[in-house]
Amino acid sequence: MFNINSQTMTLNENKGVYFLKYNKLNKIDFINHAFSTRIGGVSENEFSSMNLSFGRGDPDENVTKNYKIFCDAAGFDYESLVASAQDHNTFVRVVTKEDRGVGIYKPRDIKSVDALVTNEKGVTLVTYYADCTPLFFVDTNKKAIGLAHGGWRGTVGRIGEKVLKTMNENYGTNPQDVTVCIGPAISKCCYEVDAPVAEKFLALEGVDSSKFVFDKGDGKYMLDLLECNRQIVINAGVKAENVVLSDLCTRCSSELLWSHRATNGKRGTMSAFMCIL
């Protein structure tokens, strides 16, 4: 039904549910991970069909059913899910088994959470996207994981660096042992911003902004969030060969992936999932 042209990710289908997996993360035997698409759920109208966001107008019972359908198809325990509470900041939450259900079948208990980390089995991290940049972190030595939501504000706030710092403080993570996969997100082909946003990226230190900020003229710029996040995590100590960028643009692939810009905000939401087995 769907074909993707990707060198870094594979599109999987199970029981009518489509989801993406990183080829590099598939080689790490102690984790399961997935990135949802818009295909395979029960939601209708503008949310059709795999919407994983509560609070956008899709009935909660549909979203809950979508989570259960997705978990069954992609191999996650619904009871183990712990969700973020994203508002484009950079707070990193350390989660344990005691937090299971938060944001899914239990109320959110912290208002601002844009990244999650854990080193416990039986905990599945969940973060949300519809153009912004997901970051998957796997410490293959200490066996710890993290997920982060990097919109432009989170990226400028160096959320990737903050995840690595939090993992170091809590689990003894050495960034050189970490694999980082970045995307899918809206890519430089489609992500136009105005001068005030571009100037925040041009002011970032320790990175080469000429690789991710491109002047179009008339106060408009094209921005490559994936490349910026790549440089930030490498600057924080991750080996360049351990960083993988998705080559799928959410806006270009909007028949498969939710894109805020492609739908003018009338949309559902995708989620990244990751757990330690």
What is the secondary structure of 236-249 as a DSSP string?
Answer: TT--GGGEEE---B
Q: Which domains does the chain have, with CATH numbers?
A: 9-189+239-276 (3.60.140.10)
- Only one residue has tokens 């509560």, namely 54
One-letter amino acid for residue 20 of the chain: L
- Give the whole-number percent of the chain exceeding pLDDT 90: 99
**Per residue in 186-215, pLDDT tens?**
999 999 999 999 999 999 999 999 999 999
Amino acid at 50: M
pLDDT at 86 over 80: yes
Across 60-81, average pLDDT: 98
pLDDT at 73 over 70: yes
Res 1 pLDDT > 70: no
pLDDT of residue 14 exceeding 80, the answer is: yes
Counting residues of the chain whose pLDDT is more than 70, the rounded percentage is 100
What is the tens place of the pLDDT at every residue in 166-175?
999 999 999 9
pTM exceeds 0.75, yes or no? yes
pLDDT at 220 over 70: yes
Give the pLDDT score at 232.
98
| Average pLDDT across the chain, whole number | 98
Q: How far apart are CA 134 and CA 123, in angstroms?
A: 18
246, pLDDT greater than 70: yes
- Phi, psi angle pair for 256, to nearest 5°: -110, -35
pLDDT bucket at 3, cuts 50 / 70 / 90: confident
Q: Which of 25, 22, 26, 16 is nearest to 4 (CA)?
A: 22
pLDDT at position 267 over 90: yes
- The tokens for 226 are 């994936």
Q: pLDDT tens-digit profile of 105-137?
A: 999 999 999 999 999 999 999 999 999 999 999
pLDDT digits (tens, 9 = 90+) for 150-160: 999 999 999 99
Phi, psi at residue 196, to the nearest 5°?
Answer: -60, -35
- What confidence score (pLDDT) does residue 2 get? 79
pLDDT surpasses 90 at 221 = yes
